């Protein structure tokens, strides 16, 4: 057990180092609310965001980028075909797709679109909160709009089902994060109770997951670890969610190996 934890810490630290060296390009089809946050988080950590959605440039963009993040947070009938086209292009260029099924379960449109994207992607990581993961697995959860009312633990069965169905990694984020992969599951207890009071925090995790996938860390673990640690550092310095939002970007920018190792709560 201890040995696994040490190996996971090594993976995280090494992925962060590689990310900052390679500064990977990450294509984001995100939602209107989160775009600014996710672009800033990618830059602060050391990656290079491309925010694009037009089918007239997606093939080019994915030919030289490292990963695709698809976030359905403000979807509609114009954006869904753009998302599916981008996934096709990611497949052609053998790039990983990170699916953020925002509000999956809150409307049939979101659930159905999430299924389409998960089905279409060849290399896939799913990152959602417990309610979204439960809904994506076709189970009945307790969502309230786009916020989760289920605990991360309650979504573990759903996550395993999704992993087996789509041959993908699944990240359940919440008070506790779980990374569910073919190799088993990893539990992460970083983060802070103030984080859900900032919008687009989950979207930010999905974007960082894409950046790490672009440098070969294909499980979502490194992103969850880095955001959890940076988030708790930021929250400790914050009077409220406004300060947290900016302190988080500072913390991502400043995060060093020693701090990361010292604060990680893996099990």
String marking each residue 101-140 x if it binds a second copy according to CB under 8 A: --x--xxxxx------------------------------
Which position among 19, 124, 200, 207 is part of the footprint of a second copy (CB under 8 A)? 200
Q: Per rule CB under 8 A, is residue 74 in the interface with a second copy? A: yes
Instruction: Name the residue nearer to a second copy (CB basis): 149 or 261.
Output: 149
d(CA 249, CA 200): 13
String marking each residue 235-264 x if it binds a second copy according to CB under 8 A: ---xxxxxx-xxxxxxxxxx----------
Q: Which two tokens stand for residue 240?
A: 């409220």
d(CA 84, CA 65): 17
Least CB distance to a second copy at residue 233 (A): 11
**Enclosing H/E stretch for 27:** strand 25-29
Instruction: Name the residue nearer to a second copy (CB basis): 37 or 152.
Output: 37
Enumerate the known binding-site residues for substrate.
51, 200
String marking each residue 17-56 x if it binds a second copy according to CB under 8 A: ------x-x-----xxxxxxx-xx--xx---xxxxxxx-x
d(CA 83, CA 52): 10
Residue 104 is given by DSSP the state: B
Token pair 């698809």 in the structure block, residue:
70
Token pair 């989950």 in the structure block, residue:
202
d(CA 246, CA 229): 15
């Amino acid at each position: 057990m201890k040995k696994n934890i040490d190996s996971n810490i090594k993976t995280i630290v090494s992925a962060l180092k590689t990310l900052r060296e390679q500064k990977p390009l990450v294509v984001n089809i995100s939602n209107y609310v989160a775009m600014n946050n996710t672009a800033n988080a990618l830059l602060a950590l050391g990656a290079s965001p491309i925010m694009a959605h037009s089918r007239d440039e997606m093939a080019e963009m994915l030919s030289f980028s490292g990963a695709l993040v698809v976030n359905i947070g403000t979807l509609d009938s114009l954006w869904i075909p753009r998302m599916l086209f981008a996934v096709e292009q990611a497949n052609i260029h053998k790039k990983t797709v990170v699916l953020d099924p925002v509000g999956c379960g809150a409307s049939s449109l979101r659930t159905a679109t999430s299924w389409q994207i998960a089905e279409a992607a060849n290399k896939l990581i799913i990152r959602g909160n417990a309610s979204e993961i439960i809904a994506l697995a076709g189970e009945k959860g307790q969502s309230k709009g786009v916020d989760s009312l289920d605990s991360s633990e309650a979504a573990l069965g759903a996550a395993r089902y999704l992993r087996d169905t789509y041959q993908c990694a699944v990240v359940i984020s919440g008070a506790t994060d779980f990374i569910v992969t073919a190799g088993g599951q990893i539990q992460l207890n970083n983060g802070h109770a103030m984080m859900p009071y900032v919008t687009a925090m989950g979207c930010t995790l999905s974007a960082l997951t894409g950046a790490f996938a672009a440098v070969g860390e294909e499980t979502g673990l490194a992103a969850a670890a880095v955001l959890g640690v940076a988030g708790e550092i930021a929250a400790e310095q914050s009077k409220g969610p406004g300060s947290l939002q900016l302190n988080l970007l500072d913390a991502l920018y400043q995060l060093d190996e020693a701090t990361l190792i010292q604060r990680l709560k893996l099990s």
